[in-house]
Structure 1
């Protein structure tokens, strides 16, 4: 199997040259629908299924669920900073280290799904309130070492939702093909 395709099942993020209102609104729909789509995918998984990986050495399903909660909490805060400060420098974090903390490697995923449900409701409310000038507000991203726009970030999180839903689907479809004993 092609490891790059397993790593990026929906491709790498590429922002469109022009972000139209239609594209922006579609991204909001993705944000709005993630919690329910995620819940349908994972709510009935067994402990063993929560341990499934989507590629050799990847996070397992439960870590992806917890990562989505961590990442989207950070994103929501970043959106609020962009809207309330002039060109803020956003805080980055080591998502790999976060995925290894006790709460992120816990088979109890309900709390992270609950976080996403409430957070995404607020996020969508905020996004629907934006005027065109808000969408063009900028921030500095230290990892990319450049200034970007709020609308660019929304596109990134549209991709992030689709990317990790695809990872979970992939892990379930591959049913343990990448367990440590099979990868050796």
Structure 2
């Protein structure tokens, strides 16, 4: 990742109770994707594409795109210094828009674009990337933020999310550390909105 100028908004710490790790089981994840995609389709027509924030947001962006039959674009961003459990965010977001630049090949995005991440921990990643995406937008484009989870301590609410969490989250592609206490998140019945 080629670091761009660091974006450092005021960061409110994420909320971690340190009681258990919250796991999203595969079936709850699949249902969350459908619920998010359906809610986005109903609220934000016409949706024309997703942008997945890699690494964690790329899988849900692709899944939402598959459900809605849309193209997926990618940007890379990093906010945590490591992937270790309970790592506190630094407030410094580094990003690389190269994958998006190459994919669009000087064309602008149109319509409504969903910017997707796995979790909105502090809101800093969305806050850093949204202004940078302006260079890739045609007239009258709307960006909507979508996340599977929102940490209860986040200063920012995405436009759509499924679970509000108060501890570290394990996504279906992650394994819990040995001897960790794990609690499965329930399948969602609805989305949360800003």
TM-score, normalising length: structure 1: 0.30
TM-score, normalising length: structure 2: 0.29
Looking at both structures, which has the greater relative contact order when contacts are Cα pairs under 8 Å and sequence separation is at least 6?
1
Larger Rg over CA atoms: 1
> By percentage of residues, which structure has more strand?
2
